[in-house]
Each structure stands twice: as C-alpha cells, then as structure tokens.
Amino acid sequence: MKTLIGIPARYGSTRFPGKPLAKIAGKEMLLRVWENALKAASQFKGCEACVATDDQRIVDFCRQHNINVMMTSENCLTGTDRIVELAHKMPEKPEFVVNLQGDNPLCPTWFVEAVIAEYYKDNNVETVTPVVNLSWEELDNLREHKKTTPFSGTTAVFDKHGDAFWFSKNIIPAIRKEEKVRAAEVSSPVYRQIGLYGYRMDILDRISRLPEGTYEKLEGLEQLRWIENGLRVRCVKVDYRGFKKMSSLSGVDSPEDVTRVEAALAECGEF
C-alpha cells in the first residue's frame, strides 16, 4: 500500500458526545467522511482508507456499513497519535499518510486528492497541507470574525516552491498600502490554511516523538512544532470551486455546527 487515508473518530467528545455518528441531512457524519475518503482513494493506485477509533460503538457502526476500521488505544492524546498507531497496525505499512478528521464532512474530496497528488509528484515532500487564496471579501470577513474569535482561522506564508515559512492565527502577511494592492490585484495575498495534513511515513514517526514547541504552545498550531524542528511543510493551493458557501465552515465541534453544515449542503448541494 502506497498511501493510507486515516480517519480518526473519537466517540467521547466533551462538547458533543457521539459526534461521529450524529446525522447530517439524514446521513451519519462519519459515513459522509468515509464516502469522501473513498472517492479520493479511488483516484490513486495503492491508496486505501481506514477509520481509527477507541470506541466499540464506532467499530460496530463501521462494520454495519462495510467501512474499514481499526481499534486504537484509549491513550492517544490527539488525532495524529491515533493515525500513527493506525499506520503501524496496518497489514502493509504505508509510505504516505493523510489525516482526514472524522468530524470534517465538508472537506472536499479534491482537497484530499491534492494532498496525495503532491506526494505522488514529489516523494521528497515531508508534510503537505492545503491552502486557499482568500478574495478581498473573504479577507474582510475573516478580519471581522477574528474580532470576536481571534484564534479562529489559520493563515500561511510560503516560498515559491510552496514550502511554508510560517503559519499563524494572526492574519499574515501584513499588507502595506492596502488600498493600492486592492486596486491592482483581484485576490488578496492572504492564504487560509485548511486543517488537513499528509505525511511521509518516516516524517510522521519523527513528528510523533517531538516535544511540544515554543511557538506551537503560543499559537496552538502543531505544524509550528515541525517547522521549529526543521521539517518542511508543503502548501498546496486548492479552491472550493462551486462550493464557496462552505469555505467559512470547518469541522463540526458542537450540535449547533450540524445546523450550519446542513444549511450549507442545502444551498450548495453535495460534493
């Protein structure tokens, strides 16, 4: 197996117990994520998907729906920890691993495909994450949103090869003489990072052993730990195509988020 799309799914969420099995427009969230993973996996030879969980209820659900599933330890502190354990438990150890969160039903399949394609194009990449170029209107909306929730939304700056200089919960880069830039450019120079990651397997093993970083602790961004330790994070450009409404939504963290996701699906349709 060349690539594994791992889907961490934890039943015991503090804010939303049983979250992976919550229904969104009549279909369980985990089933939606699984179907998206299968669509992406079908585009690549030697690519498989599997759910990683620590709860028998999720295992039972997966088996009822013919979803590949593996039980992992209750001691996994993060989804990344669970993905590492899953990768090592697979019958054939993968070369590249994608961490697709089980509470992110609005992650387009082409985002996952873009992450995998970057590795297939250049297997020297260490980690990969998607980024979206914000329109000026979207940048204005992000700034407004950060007035009330300053640690929502992550932005990225990267070199001409796509390798990240930095990620921040602040909006970077700063834009000097912004009115002139707005007049000259159709889109803003700001890229929002999507919380989806692919890792070369040897790098994933290394990441799992790294202690928490200084800047990671300050910003709450695990990818800063990787940069602090000299690892490269490749940013691959993606867009939402005809599903712009979904660009302001991320994962499902609360029951209220289900309503927002259902409204977006009703307006935009299914992927």
The pLDDT tens digits for 223-244 are 999 999 999 999 999 998 876 6
- pLDDT class for 163, splitting at 50, 70, 90? very high
- Look at residue 266 and tell me whether its pLDDT is greater than 80: no
- pLDDT class for 131, splitting at 50, 70, 90? very high
pLDDT in tens, 81-108: 889 999 999 989 999 999 998 888 888 9
Provide the sign of the torsion angle of the four alpha carbons 270, 22, 38, 198, taken in this order.
Answer: positive
pTM over 0.95: no
Contact 95, 12 (CB under 8 A): no
User: What's the whole-number mean pLDDT along residues 108-129?
Assistant: 94
**What 3-state class would DSSP assign to 127?**
strand
CA separation for the pair 262, 267 (Å, rounded): 9
Confidence (pLDDT) at 136: 95
Q: Tell me the pairing of strands 47-53 and 164-168.
A: unpaired
- pLDDT class for 167, splitting at 50, 70, 90? very high
Residue 166 β-bridge partners: 157
Contact 156, 193 (CB under 8 A): yes
Give the mean pLDDT of the chain. 89
**Domains (range + CATH), the chain:** 1-123 (3.90.550.10), 126-239 (3.90.550.10)
Confidence (pLDDT) at 244: 66
User: What's the whole-number mean pLDDT along residues 51-64?
Assistant: 94
Confidence (pLDDT) at 33: 93
From 28-37, 140-149, 159-168, the region with the lowest mean pLDDT: 140-149
Contact 11, 2 (CB under 8 A): no
pLDDT in tens, 180-205: 999 999 999 999 999 899 999 999 99
Listing DSSP states for 44-60 in one string gives STTEEEEEEES-HHHHH
Confidence (pLDDT) at 248: 58
Nearest to 38 by CA among 92, 112, 96, 143: 112
CA separation for the pair 180, 136 (Å, rounded): 13
Q: How far apart are the first and last CA of the chain?
A: 27
DSSP state of 163: B
Provide the sign of the torsion angle of the four alpha carbons 127, 9, 84, 95, taken in this order.
Answer: negative
User: What's the whole-number mean pLDDT along residues 150-169?
Assistant: 94
User: What's the whole-number mean pLDDT along residues 45-50?
Assistant: 94
